[in-house]
Amino acid sequence: MQERTPVSFSTRPTPRDGAAWRRALWLALLVAASVAFSFGFACAVPFAAFGATAALTLARRDAVLLTVAVWLANQLVGFAVLSYPWTQSTFAWGAVLGVVAVLATFAARSIARHLEGRGVVIVTLAAFAGAFIVYEGGLFIVAATLLGGTADFVPAIVAYILEINAGAFLGLMALQWVGGAIGLSSKQPFQRLAGARHA
């Protein structure tokens, strides 16, 4: 008869408990940052910046979870506080934003893994550029083929969206550095790419 491992009812936290608590708090802080962006930019929330940051600093599952949470927070703020119109078009664009934001996250992660070892600056810039191109390109394709609104993709508007995303990306990466310094996030942004390829 196989000996059973005794069940422990100790409530003393284990190192894994501490890591889980820090991970949850870190994700919550990033979602809170997205809420602030939702109030500040409404329809121009920098999803590409969040996707690239998530891809560079989190395991794949957490990166997708964060991207979805950022999108959901934006939609809740938009409909509950910012008076987004309750129309079929608005709901459709909301769904498209979520899907394209996740695709941008996957693109940034794929690019970062492909360029792994090429240097932090190259990997960071390439991941952000990939996320932005996939995000804006995906939205343009949907606008051109299904929902309309290609007038929103003139160079001046795209440049403005790029400026918002670039500034947000720098801010989020700085937040990640601070989080690493105080033990909330990884001190090495890219260790997740090597250590958790399929996580």
Residue 95, both tokens: 């769904």
Q: What is the pLDDT of residue 189?
A: 55
| Contacts by residues 119-126 (CB-CB < 8 Å, ≥ 24 positions apart) | 120/189, 120/190, 123/56, 123/190, 124/56, 124/173, 124/189
pLDDT tens-digit series, residues 158-175 = 999 999 999 999 998 888
Secondary structure class of 6 (helix, strand, coil) = coil
pLDDT tens-digit series, residues 102-111 = 999 999 999 9
| Mean pLDDT, each 10-residue run in order, the chain (199 residues) | 41 51 74 70 79 91 92 88 87 95 97 90 95 97 93 93 94 82 61 45
Half-sphere exposure of 13 (CA within 13 A, CB side): 8
pTM of the model as a whole: 0.79
The sign of the torsion formed by the CA atoms of 135, 64, 97, 30 equals negative
DSSP 84: -
Q: Mean pLDDT for the chain?
A: 81
Residue 126, both tokens: 């390439």
Alpha helices in 143-190 (DSSP H): 155-181
DSSP 102: H
Q: What is the pLDDT of residue 144?
A: 96
Q: What is the pLDDT of residue 3?
A: 46
Token look-up 């690493």 returns 180
